[in-house]
Structure 1
């Protein structure tokens, strides 16, 4: 099958980049050089401040490498209620402004972690109360309206391990409680499998809510260890829970075929979590992954 509606890209995450500035990460210039060399045409901005935040410089750096930006990313804790709105919007507005300036049309929204992804420290209860669910859903709808009205961007909410939007049950609850006209998902195949979900079934059931894809696979053996030990996400990644395709689950061809069948244009951004990783590790993996996806028709 030729996946004519799927636009393939990659992200700083696949180069071990989780933070704006970290001594264990490669310089942003090297990331841009290597992602272009790997055969990708699209990238995400990654953590705000990693790539240049001056729009003119960022455009110049991406254009000369024949790269385009698909989305920016923000983290939010909207389940805490209206009192966090102002601080949330300050962060979102900065990222949205830069995202719009690059010509991108999406803003990936990741709910805040209930435990720290580096230290494993428990920050709050892993289950939301009914009131917190209402804050999360109404706050997300408000964010979608504001981002759309002010910046012309579409938000796509990213179910993520160690957040409150993670399992099939919680993702379904979130979707059923939000306006389909406002709120779509960024389906991350690796995170959803990590949390026990079936990506193909989600696409077939909630197809109109799928606005964006992250392509990722989980190593089943490592995942079994992670679940048995209840490891936080960061240490799980360091152990190698996310692996390059086609070595893990879910199988990507059925996911891509289900997405193609939706009949809409979709970004599918490769995001193989690898923090921290040796600086020379990502490039060969990125090349092999791009070749593999070409073999899948993408």
Structure 2
């Protein structure tokens, strides 16, 4: 069993309001979102596009519901912007997260990413880095990770993601081998590994001591296959229902939980399953996810 004092459960607001597809959940308010998170039994949240920018306003709203910020996505452009520009934006986000009490920042390299391109197929169109670009990325992440840890007390976790320069197991391996464990950890996302054809269990076993943040996401493989076959975009796949909550798709979570437990994982495990809320009621699915996790982990 996981230690309840060391492992917490969160859920991402992307099920209520989608950052990349603003029409999905446009009717759902910030207050509804965090209230339903709390009612479903979660204590952590990542940051959504409707969250108040004012720190005190956000703290009060979350505090009333027993919710805290556990992580926030950060878009890196280390390959295409001067490092100083990336660092400036990174520090601004770190300051916000420190003020909110968060211990994790989730970075994803967005240079040349096709994940947000509505008409670009997610399979077969991703950018591959050359050796020079790999050095720039890994060196830059080490520098950002050092800043995060030593100046803000926050851990940089890298989010492998469909459509980006770090998507598949070979790319994750190269990134992990060429970054410093003290400063760069892995944001382990079950859904993105499964989506690209990797085995999330094997990835958990391989990187169990580098994992500092977990996204619990499931996939519907028949829809992923349709996305591949019909050359649809990542965003099309979201609308079609490629992702779902843990326990509702093809990923076998029980052995993954066992690996993380045996590794002594500490931190947040966050349900992150972007769907069309008109088709998959966020509160209903949050309740289902919470029930599944309780049954499989005791948390």
Q: Does 1:281 align with 2:285?
A: no
Aligned counterparts of 1:167 and 1:138: Cα–Cα separation in 2: 20
Deviation for aligned residue 1:91 = 2.5
Residues 1:165 and 2:166 aligned together = yes
Q: Residue 21 of structure 2 contacts residue 235 of structure 2 at CA under 8 Å; is this kept in 1?
A: no
Output one character per residue of 1:37-88: Cα deviation in whole Å (capped at 9) or x when no partner: 11111111234xx3112221111111101111211221112133xx432332
**2:43 and 2:212 mapped to 1: Cα distance?**
19
Give the RMSD, CA atoms, in angstroms.
2.3
Contact kept, 8 Å, 1:38 with 1:286, in 2: the verdict is yes
Q: Which structure 1 residue ranges, 5 or more long, are not aligned?
A: none
CA-to-aligned-CA distance 1:254-273 (integer Å, 9 cap, x gap): 11111111113131100001
Shift in Å, 1:32: 1.1
| Equivalenced residues, count | 293
Instruction: Tell me the TM-score normalized by structure 1.
Output: 0.91
Q: Which residue of 2 aligns with 1:266?
A: 267
Give secondary structure in 2 for the equivalent of 1:202. helix
Query: Offset at 1:22?
Result: 5.9
Mapped to 2, the partners of 1:2 and 1:105 lie a distance apart of: 19
CA contact (8 A) 1:46 1:73 kept: no
Instruction: State the distance in 2 between where 1:186 and 1:16 align.
Output: 22
TM-score normalised to the size of structure 2?
0.90
Whether the 8 Å CA contact 2:190–2:215 is kept in 1: the answer is: yes
Q: Which moved more, 1:56-65 or 1:223-232?
A: 223-232
Deviates more, 1:13-22 or 1:221-230: 13-22
Cα separation, 2, equivalents of 1:280 and 1:104 = 29
Q: Secondary structure at the match of 2:235?
A: helix
What SS is found at the alignment partner of 2:79? helix
Residue 111 (structure 1) aligns with = 109
Report the counterpart of residue 228 of structure 1 in structure 2: 229
Q: Conserved in 2, the CA contact under 8 Å of 1:159 and 1:166?
A: yes
The reply to whether residue 177 of structure 1 matches residue 173 of structure 2 is no
Structure 1 residue 14: Cα displacement: 2.2
C-alpha contact (below 8 Å) 1:162/1:232 kept by paired residues: no
SS at match of 1:69: strand
Counterpart in the other structure of 2:45? 43
Deviation, 1:217, is: 0.3
Deviation at 1:118, TM superposition (A): 4.5
Distance change >3 Å, CA 229–CA 279, structure 1 → 2: closer
The Cα of 1:288 is off from its aligned counterpart by: 1.1
User: Deviation digits for residues 71-130 of structure 1, max 9, x if unmatched?
Assistant: 1221112133xx4323322322222111111111010112215215242348x9611111
Tell me what 2:96 maps to.
Answer: 98
Q: Which runs of 5+ in 2 are unaligned?
A: none
| Change over 3 Å in CA distance of 1:44–1:225 after alignment to 2 | same
Assess if the C-alpha contact under 8 Å between 2:118 and 2:234 holds in 1.
no
Distance 1:63 1:108 in 2: 23
Which residue pairs with 2:238 in the alignment? Answer: 237
1:119 and 1:20 map into 2 onto residues whose CA distance is: 10
Q: 1:20 Cα deviation (Å)?
A: 10
Contact 2:7–2:269 (Cα < 8 Å) also in 1:
yes
SS in 1 for 2:209: helix
> What's the offset of the Cα at 1:181?
1.4
CA gap of 1:101–1:248, structure 2 versus 1, over 3 A, is same
Contact 2:16 2:25 in 1 (8 A): no
Superposed displacement of residue 18, structure 1: 1.4
SS at the partner of 2:278?
Answer: coil
